[in-house]
Structure 1
Amino acid sequence: METLVLYLILGYLIGSLPFAVIVSKAFGLADPRQHGSRNPGATNVLRTGNKTAAALTLLGDSAKGWLAMAIAAKLGAGGTAQALVGLAAFLGHLFPVFLKFKGGKGVATALGVLIGLDGWLATGAALAWLATAFLTRYSSLAALLAACVAMALAFLRHGSDAVSLVIVAMCLLLIWRHRANIRRLIEGTESRIGNRTKS
């Protein structure tokens, strides 16, 4: 139990690394928490118009979800423990200790965790995101549909085991974090991908 707690703390701290803020500072961009959706994530960094910075943010946020699980596995964590470490990394992104517990919505980090849990499932969720984003240009809608696809695939591929439960918990949290976006989608005021932040 003590070892598992240490794994979970490690996962949470890795997940807490705010790549949107780190990358924005490195590129001399405005703090993503001060413009647009005020969300420290890749989509908000993209609103600055700097695609490279947005891509690096996406890569960093995705990698930390996978990395936390990979380190836990290297240290001897079993399958269930690895899944829980992935969830801890996701929670770290949502509620990062380094940003006073005010984090992003977790889409990229969730993808990294899915890659660590089940590569084929991650591919299915990513394709759902890409197709929805391409057709609608709504990042939030793409994330919501991808989360639903991930939950459905989890039960189809894993039944009701620990992996499925972790994926469902993660996806439900992701959907909850998008509650304001859901409201704006209904109202027709949601921002589309590619819209830059107004000065």
Structure 2
Amino acid sequence: MKNIIFFIAAYLCGSFPTGVVIGKKFYNIDIREHGSKNMGGTNAGRVLGKKAGFIVSFIDVIKVFLPVLIAKQFLSFQAAAFVGVCALLGHCYPIFANFKGGKGVSSFFGIIFALDFILGIILLIIWKTLKHVTNYVSVASMTSCFIISFIFYYKYRNIKLFLVLILLSFFIVYLHRSNIKRLLSGTENKVNPNR
């Protein structure tokens, strides 16, 4: 029963539509009607500016990080990880935004940071490095999720958690299918358009 309460609470927490709320309240803009029409931090940054994009991304990480961190105090490590999965699903399919949400990258970061803060820092470094090298946020996001999943397994040797992280990584790739199509056609947005 305790697990179920945590799972539901995490989903509801993850469902908070950060990008939509910030866009409407402070900019009078619904970011779902602009750019990629996604409510995540990347689109918020493009539509509302870098500052807003950072704030949206940060809150999207925190709304998954906190439920997992709290769950670690009361549940098993694996159950806490599944709390993160529920929060991620809430972000991607939010009940408060007609089940149309973000692409799960910030949520994935929140899970890793809560489970192992050091690995969270490593994930951030990998992501920033790949973003700089590839010049594509989408490529950096998808690739870094897979890389940290293997690093996580190398450290903990927990096959169940590894499978959860790998499945989440594939799920994130699925949510980026429109980005993949644009990458293949050469129309994907670059971090630095002049490169």
TM norm. shorter chain > 0.5: yes
Q: Is the 8 A contact 1:43 1:193 kept in 2?
A: no
Q: Is the 8 A contact 2:23 2:48 kept in 1?
A: no
Pick one of 99, 103, 106 that aligns with 2:104.
Answer: 106
Distance (whole Å) between structure 2 residues aligned to residue 27 and residue 138 of structure 1: 28
Percent of residue pairs bearing the same amino acid type: 33
Q: Is the 8 A contact 1:90 1:170 kept in 2?
A: no
1:145: which partner in 2? 143
One-letter amino acid of the structure 1 residue matched with residue 59 of structure 2: G
Q: Is the 8 A contact 2:12 2:87 kept in 1?
A: yes
Distance (whole Å) between structure 1 residues aligned to residue 137 and residue 28 of structure 2: 21
Question: Tell me, what secondary structure is at the counterpart of 1:27?
Answer: helix
Query: Aligned-pair RMSD on alpha carbons?
Result: 1.6
- CA displacement at 1:171 relative to structure 2: 1.3
1:59: which partner in 2? 58
- CA displacement at 1:29 relative to structure 2: 4.2
1:48: which partner in 2? 47
One-letter amino acid of the structure 2 residue matched with residue 50 of structure 1: G
- CA displacement at 1:186 relative to structure 2: 1.4
1:160: which partner in 2? 158
- CA displacement at 1:165 relative to structure 2: 2.7
What is the CA deviation profile of residues 139-197 of structure 1, one whole-angstrom value per residue up to 9, with x for unaligned ones?
101111111212221221122344323322221211111111112111111012367xx
Whether 1:183 aligns to 2:152 is no
Question: Tell me, what secondary structure is at the counterpart of 1:172?
Answer: helix
**Unaligned regions of 5+ residues in structure 2, if any?**
none
| Deviates further, 95-104 or 46-55 | 46-55
One-letter amino acid of the structure 2 residue matched with residue 44 of structure 1: N
- Structure with a larger share of its residues in helix: 2
| Deviates further, 135-144 or 89-98 | 135-144
Runs of at least 4 residues off by over 4 Å: none
Distance (whole Å) between structure 2 residues aligned to residue 103 and residue 168 of structure 1: 21
Give the 5 Å matches for 1:56-135.
Answer: 56-74=55-73, 76-135=74-133
TM-score (norm 2): 0.92
Distance (whole Å) between structure 2 residues aligned to residue 31 and residue 150 of structure 1: 33
- CA displacement at 1:49 relative to structure 2: 4.8
TM-score (norm 1): 0.90
1:28: which partner in 2? 27
Distance (whole Å) between structure 1 residues aligned to residue 183 and residue 2 of structure 2: 43
| Deviates further, 80-89 or 124-133 | 124-133
